[in-house]
Amino acid sequence: MDQLTWMVRMPNYSSGHCVVAIAQIAPVWLDRAGTMDKIAGKIREAGQSGVRLVVFSEGVLPGYPFWIEHTDGARFESDLQKSLFAHYSDQAVDIAGGDMGSLCATAREAGVWVMLGCIERDPNRGQSVFASLVTIDDNGEIRNVHRKLMPTYEERLVWSPGDGAGLRTFELDGFRLGGLNCWENWMPLARSALYAQGEDLHVAVWPGSVRNTEQITPFIAREGRSFVLSASSLLRQEDIPDNAPHVDLLRERLPAVCADGGSCIAGPDGEWIIPPRADDEVLLIAEIDHARVREERQNFDPFGHYSRPDVLELQIDRRRRNGASIRD
């Protein structure tokens, strides 16, 4: 077994089991084409390993905007910030325009479901971008695009707030699959929106830090009595490509390590299946069994026997918001 592959097999109690994986990689930062090639390679590797679902980190395509914190990102009318954003918007993914086509084809060829974080630009919304979590099925079809509801702190300087259109779950080998972006996972009602649709396989995507994943991953697993995959990425000085805009300044200002990984998998009892893994590019693989969900929901089922819909009820608006309603 490759030393950069970590595999865990669980007891086979039932027919409802699934092999899942997290691809913890460094993007070819701020380079859409280069990063897509790297992602495609990991999808193929996952398929060759018998994986049914492979997950990538928040904004991995084409990368998280680490420059904001270290280059005076809040300065108004900054030529530097305008230049960096213009490049970022250019390298963002136009999903309607077919930018994900090659990855969809790779997912189909590998027979693998893919969930990955991307920076999405919607031509109907100008040049603004969203942090989106895209779900591709094993037929190569894009099943869902979930735009991050609320960018966190300095992220609001480059990412637009999303909407509820992507708060959806999907059947996968006896599991119900859903996912959220980064600090959305701290939003009780966002989590509940997925629990209410039967989610029991939860994907949480992060830019990359053990401090983000080590506490909340087992908490969500225990609260939802679900399997939880937390996917993170890496970004080190050596991952800043020579063709990045303002490359000399970025190498001067950014720390040696912006993102150290921290990808991990927890079971529905809140215990680690794979604890947070830091500092290297790795494909983390685990076989999960739905019987464990049913066992843990014997005493607590968040939207089942332990809910009180007569007292507490959540309303979810899943309309895609475009900012205009046009009648001709």
Residue of 153, 163, 157, 116 whose CA lies nearest to 136: 116
- Type of residue at 172: L
Where is 33: in which H helix or E strand? helix 32-48
Sequence-distant (6+) residues with CB within 8 A of 313 are none
Q: Residue 18's beta-bridge partner residues?
A: 288
Cβ-contact 240, 215 below 8 angstroms: no
Q: To 10 degrees, what angle do helices 101-110 and 32-48 make?
A: 10
Cβ-contact 202, 53 below 8 angstroms: no
**Catalytic residue from among 45, 58, 199, 296:** 58
**Catalytic residue from among 18, 104, 118, 182:** 182
d(CA 157, CA 163): 18
DSSP 3: T
- Helix, strand or coil, per DSSP, at residue 114: strand
Residue of 21, 9, 18, 1 whose CA lies nearest to 284: 21
**Catalytic residue from among 118, 120, 148, 199:** 148
Cβ-contact 21, 285 below 8 angstroms: yes
Q: Is 258 a catalytic residue?
A: no
Q: Is 38 a catalytic residue?
A: no
d(CA 278, CA 24): 9
End-to-end CA distance of the chain: 61
Q: Is 148 a catalytic residue?
A: yes
d(CA 121, CA 313): 34
Catalytic residues: 58, 148, 182
